[in-house]
Structure 1
Amino acid sequence: MEHAARELPVVILTGLSGSGKSTALRVFEDLGFFCVDGLPVSLVPKLMSLFDDKGGQRYKGLALGMDVRQADLDTDWGATLAEVRRKQDLTQIIFFEADNGEIIRRYATTRRPHPLESADMGLEQAALAERERMRPLRDAADMVLDTTHFTIHDLRRKLQEKWASIRPTAGTLKVHVMSFGFKYGPPSEADMVFDLRFLPNPYFDKELRERTGKEAAVRDYVLAEEPGREFLRRLTEFLLYLLPLYAKEGRYRLTLAFGCTGGRHRSVAVAESVFDTLSKAGYNISLEHRHIERG
């Protein structure tokens, strides 16, 4: 019984109010997870202990929604997270966020009050206060998902793609690899940004223009010849040297962003290659192509 519970993933969904957490919970429910929203932080370990053999046979895992509505969030979060990760290796924390302007627009559209709004605090001040209060959870997250430019359908698709690409592996550095287009702006959550606009651009080949870096013909165009081949060799060597140093220093999560002009060809090809390499090296890895449909 204990072994079955330990093998099931636990996903903690948290983040800024109005950034998509409720939609994400519905996605995980559709994926076969047992979902609970608004559970007091101090009760999380108890719920996990109750999720026994029967729960393990019926569900694919637990998905727990947490936000500023939990009164014990500030006081109990750190200790609870340590206890959860001590008992359950396959725990993933996904933090949802969006620009303040977009959060304010969403609340104005739905006409619902922000959880921190009061007679003394308006919507804008409440959104800023929540961002500061939630910073420790963001820092502890395995994945940070910015939903500023997402529709509900975009969020559902992206989350399904992301979760499908996560390879839970206990005790290793969590690495999130993403591609993006500079014309749409670099991702704010990136720890390292690599500019790939020096590589051969398939956009100027009519046969490849409408394809993406996921396809072998595009990957070969970008990486099979120089300078792509030598760049990929050196990049792989660099990352395999660097990541263990981050892990040794206690770094828990690292986001690597690879950018080209439109985020469709070169950045996707390199991100796919890096994802494959780090997966084979045993890292807990996830992959996102942020602008592949826009590029």
Structure 2
Amino acid sequence: MISASQHVIPVIIIAGLSGAGKSSALKVFEDMAYYTIDGLPMSMTSEFMDVLTECGLESYKGIVLGVDVRQCSFKSEWTTAINKLVADGYSPTVIFLESRADVILRRYKETRRPHPFEGNGIGLEQAMTNERALMAPARAEADFIFDTSEYSIHDLRRVLQRRWQSEENDMKGLKVHLMSFGFKHNTPSEADMIFDLRFLPNPHHDPELRPYSGQDAPVVSYVLKNSVGQTYLRKLEDLLHFTLLQMEKEGRYRITIGFGCTGGRHRSVAVTEAIFEFLKKSDFAVSKEHRHINLA
């Protein structure tokens, strides 16, 4: 038996309800350079892990096992198999995927595929109920539970990548990219959210301020050091802080926010710089660019 100290490769076990996205999750991990296998009986996990370890998996970031729940003995096998893996020196992470019953029912009707527990007089709804009860031990011991009811395949990918791929790159959480621009040049198509700042005081109309940009103190003072600018900036900070936190919880890992004024040199730059400093202090991973600062 290989000693516990030798088992350093990450082991992830994906369990969950049929129709909740287990196969899709395995494909995501495969794309992230994990060794994946689907449909493995729980009773075989320990032996299978030993075989894989002996074969050498240096080119993989970890092992992901999608377990087969079709055995009636799953409840008893689950606890035994997990305990055996731990005793053998592995530290498995358990992911459990689930969805609301109405969502799973709709997905099966759309795909027209049979549920693993259907047949022999058992219809789809009863099959779903039986499986949910059978999977209770796995759910109770899961390290991560993801409800995929409102997820598309792309949403599930983002959630898993944010949690596991970002760890590898030491880039955790939502990545926020801020962009100032001028409407008279073009509106950035890559922006997920755009704020129109053309209602703020415009330094372009002041000949002394016109040569400066929103990175310079005189322009910042003109744009933001007034009642409208200060009130707007405070409300904008509150809005973005709340919105970005919710996006991060939902599993989104990247967003581009555009701030536009007429030419892209003064107001949009000043606000972008202010929001950049605010988000940086709020511990977001934030970057910035001033697309049209030299074109105005």
Q: How would you bin the TM-score normalised by the shorter chain?
A: 0.5 to 0.7
Q: Secondary structure at the match of 2:14?
A: strand
Tell me the equivalent position of 2:138.
Answer: 137
Q: Secondary structure at the match of 2:56?
A: helix
> How many residues are paired up?
193
- 1:264 aligned to 236, 243, 268, which one? 243
Work out whether 1:208 is the aligned partner of 2:237: yes
CA deviation after TM superposition for structure 1 residue 46, in Å: 0.6
Following the alignment from structure 2 to structure 1, what is the Cα–Cα distance between the partners of residues 89 and 42? 16
Tell me the equivalent position of 2:121.
Answer: 120
Tell me the TM-score normalized by structure 2.
Answer: 0.58
Following the alignment from structure 1 to structure 2, what is the Cα–Cα distance between the partners of residues 291 and 12? 20
**One-letter amino acid of the counterpart of residue 208, structure 1:** E
Asked whether the equivalents of residues 37 and 64 of structure 2 are also in contact (C-alpha less than 8 Å), the reply is: yes
- 1:290 aligned to 224, 240, 250, which one? 250
Asked whether the equivalents of residues 158 and 251 of structure 2 are also in contact (C-alpha less than 8 Å), the reply is: no
CA deviation after TM superposition for structure 1 residue 106, in Å: 0.2
Tell me the equivalent position of 1:106.
Answer: 107
**One-letter amino acid of the counterpart of residue 122, structure 2:** M
Q: Secondary structure at the match of 1:8?
A: coil
* 1:190-229 equivalence runs, <5 A: 205-208=234-237, 211=240, 213=241
Task: After superposition, give the CA deviation of every residue in 1:180-202 in whole Å (9 maximum; x if it has no partner).
Answer: xxxxxxxxxxxxxxxxxxxxxx9
Q: Secondary structure at the match of 1:52?
A: helix
Q: 1:138 to 1:107 in 2, by over 3 A?
A: same
Asked whether the equivalents of residues 4 and 53 of structure 1 are also in contact (C-alpha less than 8 Å), the reply is: no
Following the alignment from structure 1 to structure 2, what is the Cα–Cα distance between the partners of residues 62 and 204? 47
Q: 1:74 to 1:203 in 2, by over 3 A?
A: farther
CA deviation after TM superposition for structure 1 residue 291, in Å: 7.5
**One-letter amino acid of the counterpart of residue 207, structure 1:** L
Tell me the equivalent position of 2:30.
Answer: 29
* 1:166-205 equivalence runs, <5 A: 205=234
Following the alignment from structure 1 to structure 2, what is the Cα–Cα distance between the partners of residues 87 and 203? 59
CA deviation after TM superposition for structure 1 residue 6, in Å: 0.6
CA deviation after TM superposition for structure 1 residue 265, in Å: 5.0
CA deviation after TM superposition for structure 1 residue 165, in Å: 5.9
Any gaps of 5 or more consecutive residues in structure 1?
Answer: 168-176, 178-201, 214-262, 269-287
CA deviation after TM superposition for structure 1 residue 52, in Å: 2.5
Asked whether the equivalents of residues 14 and 67 of structure 2 are also in contact (C-alpha less than 8 Å), the reply is: yes
Q: 1:50 to 1:34 in 2, by over 3 A?
A: same
Following the alignment from structure 2 to structure 1, what is the Cα–Cα distance between the partners of residues 131 and 13? 18
Task: After superposition, give the CA deviation of every residue in 1:43-92 in whole Å (9 maximum; x if it has no partner).
Answer: 11011111226523121111000142245423321111111122234310
Asked whether the equivalents of residues 16 and 67 of structure 1 are also in contact (C-alpha less than 8 Å), the reply is: no
Any gaps of 5 or more consecutive residues in structure 2?
Answer: 174-230, 256-296
**One-letter amino acid of the counterpart of residue 127, structure 2:** A
Structure 1 stretches (4+) deviating beyond 4 angstroms?
1-5, 265-268, 291-294
Following the alignment from structure 1 to structure 2, what is the Cα–Cα distance between the partners of residues 25 and 206? 42
Asked whether the equivalents of residues 13 and 63 of structure 1 are also in contact (C-alpha less than 8 Å), the reply is: yes
Following the alignment from structure 2 to structure 1, what is the Cα–Cα distance between the partners of residues 3 and 87? 14
**One-letter amino acid of the counterpart of residue 290, structure 1:** E
Following the alignment from structure 2 to structure 1, what is the Cα–Cα distance between the partners of residues 36 and 232? 43
Work out whether 1:74 is the aligned partner of 2:75: yes
Work out whether 1:9 is the aligned partner of 2:38: no
CA deviation after TM superposition for structure 1 residue 97, in Å: 0.1
Asked whether the equivalents of residues 138 and 144 of structure 1 are also in contact (C-alpha less than 8 Å), the reply is: yes
The structure whose Rg is larger is 2
* 1:59-98 equivalence runs, <5 A: 59-70=60-71, 72-98=73-99
Asked whether the equivalents of residues 9 and 61 of structure 2 are also in contact (C-alpha less than 8 Å), the reply is: yes
Q: 1:122 to 1:289 in 2, by over 3 A?
A: same
Tell me the TM-score normalized by structure 1.
Answer: 0.58
Following the alignment from structure 1 to structure 2, what is the Cα–Cα distance between the partners of residues 4 and 56? 16
Asked whether the equivalents of residues 5 and 89 of structure 2 are also in contact (C-alpha less than 8 Å), the reply is: no
Asked whether the equivalents of residues 42 and 68 of structure 2 are also in contact (C-alpha less than 8 Å), the reply is: no
Task: After superposition, give the CA deviation of every residue in 1:153-179 in whole Å (9 maximum; x if it has no partner).
Answer: 111111111224669xxxxxxxxx9xx
Following the alignment from structure 2 to structure 1, what is the Cα–Cα distance between the partners of residues 249 and 36? 27
Asked whether the equivalents of residues 36 and 65 of structure 1 are also in contact (C-alpha less than 8 Å), the reply is: yes
